[in-house]
Structure 1
Amino acid sequence: MLYNKQSISLPQQIQQLKARGLVISDESTAEHHLRNIGYYRLAGDWWPMQSDKVNHVFKPRSRFEDVIALYSFDSDLRLLVFKAIERIEIGLRTRMINHLSEEIDPWWFENQAIFINPNAFKTNLKSLDRELSKSKEVFIQEHFKKYHTDHRRPPAWKSLEVASFGLLSKLYGNLKPGIKSKDSIAQELGTVNHSFLKSWLQSISQIRNICAHHSRLWNKNLPGRPKLMPNPPLLWVIDSPHVSKHHMLYVHLCCMTYLLDAVSPGHRYPERLKHLFYSYRSVDPNALGFPERWQADPFWQ
């Protein structure tokens, strides 16, 4: 089957939505949002409002303004999540630089002997080389100028400063279990050992990519499945998310908040998260996997 639908104008988009049952009280406002956000970006927010997803018929009392509220909530949520990941990323990066440079040497990331998968090792180095080559950081450019006869990459405390969170996660995950720093870093972050931390970092890295590309978080089936500890050493939620809900955002937010407790004591993440839901009272937290009385849990106090 060939796709044969043609582009339609903004007024036609509005009439199509109205014909399908979406209540639009202010067409000029709706046209403004469709022009600046886009039909298919908003489609992810009105998808759950449809009773017939084949013919795209909306449920009774579905309103365009609720679609925009969901879109705005999701935008604010991504900013909040991205800020948390930034702190976790810096905490992880610093620990990897310090621990591994002391245990091995400042060029440990070039040492294939300490990594499990040689192909992943080569791929990761290529990714790092791309980051180094396009970096505008003065300390990177000056290093290559000053030490142009040294064919090694800049030491870890320089090179890893331009590495992405995804690359840090891959470097950590590929370290051999016998490398002491792998567990030392996990213990400092409260995740007991490297097997738990590895799965958390992989999941958080995927969520970071979603945020960086301005994709939807609300009501999304997330790819990562964090491996949860049976007896976490730090404060954890009383009602731990069931494995059947590990595709939803709530379990990932629990993991991020747990890591924030280790890298940024005194953070106000739970307060900001509660304020977000308070600001968008029409949003159903259950669509993100939140339990009914999540705010009363001491973990979120």
Structure 2
Amino acid sequence: MNTTVNSRYDRPWKSFEEQLELLRSRGMRIGDDASALTWLRRVGYYRLSAYWYPFRVFKHVQDAKTGSIRTQRTDEFVQDTSFSDAVGLYVFDRRLRVLLSDALERIEVSLRVELAYRLGKSDTFAHLHAEAFHPTFRDRRFGGDGETAFDAWQRRYGGLVARSKEDFVKHYHERHGPDLPIWVAIEVWDFGAVSQLLAMTRVPDQQAIAQRFGITDWKAFSSWVRALSYLRNLVAHHSRVWNRNMVSEPKIPSTHPPDWCADFAGQKYLLSKPFVYLEIVRHLVEVVCPGSQWPQRMAAHLAAFPAQTSQRKLTVAAMGVPNGWERRWLADPGK
């Protein structure tokens, strides 16, 4: 079999032992070799590299032609960086994703119900009928093929139904025909489908749904749902969250914003950090599940951010955490 490919990638395959020696040669303290090898076998060098990346040495380099200064990453690690520093961050991030998965499931299910309740009242199959949606929103075109937002949603929905292994889907098809009523169809939607459908609904529907979740600015609320869809995708694919620069920035409501929004007003850079997402999740969980201890569990997790041996100390500040956040998160929900 011909395995030749056209690629400039020239790094050779390395055994787990060779990977460990490479890290050691770059200045990383390994400590327990057997434990480190277990982590490399279980998690993988590439995935763990995202967690030791912040401990790499960076140097300033001047461009010979322009004289401009740029920052360049080296292969070396900051003094006293240990393998356990990266593992600690990995475990912290994994637990963060578990907590987020719990909350996002509650929010997603509640959003599905709200959409089905609003749209199904006037049309049992609203999700299949273009006239049930705002003409401007549904007819937006994206990509080179000019596909409308509504057509893109129909394609996504059709794929979700086709891939579903749920018995109820087969049951409805056999007894009632090819189309699922909206209050049944919601059970095959994912967060992305929810976000796309919400963005196409008529303004009165978006306003009503936003107000159900305590937000008067429906445009901001739509951006929240879109941002949480992005977050849910990261969580579902086990991607790094804790210090990621997020690409889907949520908006701060322009009218009657929740109190916590004051910490982010006028600080756009914080809207691309993970903590504002956590604030949105907390707000919605407290609406969907009043009295939930989820905020306290998340706060306890953030407060237990792992210590490092490296001379470069990382903190939850990299998540865009504002001062005084603990007062809101640790408050007794029953009071």
- Report the TM-score when normalising by structure 1: 0.92
- For residue 252 of structure 1, the aligned residue among 260, 265, 277 is 277
Rounded Cα–Cα distance in structure 1 between residues aligned with 2:104 and 2:93: 16
For each residue in 1:70-109, what CA deviation from the matched residue of structure 2 results, as whole angstroms up to 9, or x when unmatched?
Answer: 000000000111111111101111110111111x211111
Query: Aligned residue for 1:202?
Result: 226
Deviation at 1:203, TM superposition (A): 0.5
1:145 aligns to what SS in structure 2? helix
Gap change, CA 1:247 and 1:222, over 3 Å in 2:
same
Q: d(CA) in 1 for partners of 2:75 and 2:97?
A: 27
Q: Give yes or no for the alignment of 1:117 onto 2:138.
A: yes
Residue pair 1:237, 1:299 contacting (<8 A) in 2 also:
no
- Output aligned runs, 1:15-164, within 5 Å: 15-52=21-58, 54-102=73-121, 104-113=122-131, 114-115=133-134, 116-118=137-139, 119-148=148-177, 151=178, 153-164=179-190
Corresponding residue for residue 143 of structure 2: none
Worse overlay, 111-120 or 164-173: 111-120
Cα deviation 1:38-95 (Å, max 9, x = unaligned): 0010010000101136431100111111110100000000011111111110111111
Whole-angstrom distance in 2 between the partners of 1:269 and 1:39: 32
Letter in 2 for 1:29: S
2:23 pairs with 1:4: no
Q: Partner letter of residue 158 of structure 1?
A: V
Runs of 4+ off more than 4 Å: none
Counterpart-to-counterpart distance in 2, 1:83 and 1:61 = 36
Q: Which moved more, 1:273-282 or 1:242-251?
A: 273-282
Q: How many residues align?
A: 294
Q: CA deviation at 1:235?
A: 4.8
Structure 2 residue corresponding to 1:168, chosen from 194, 202, 222 = 194
8 Å Cα contact 1:235-1:258 kept in structure 2: no
1:184 and 2:195 are equivalent in the alignment:
no
When structure 1 is superposed on structure 2, of 48-57 and 5-14 the one drifting more is 48-57
Identity over the aligned pairs, expressed in percent? Answer: 29
| CA deviation vs aligned residue, 1:132-187 (integer Å, no higher than 9, x gap) | 12212222111100123xx5x1100111111111101000001232xx22211011
2:236 to 208, 212, 225: 212
1:269 equivalent in structure 2:
294
Which protein is richer in strand relative to its size? Answer: 2
Amino acid of the residue matched to residue 96 of structure 2? Answer: L
Matched residues in 1 for 2:207 and 2:125: separation? 19
* Whole-angstrom distance in 2 between the partners of 1:256 and 1:226: 12
Unaligned runs of 5+ in 1: none
Closer, same or farther: CA 233–19 of 1 in aligned 2, 3 Å: closer
Question: Any gaps of 5 or more consecutive residues in structure 2?
Answer: 1-6, 59-71, 140-147, 308-313
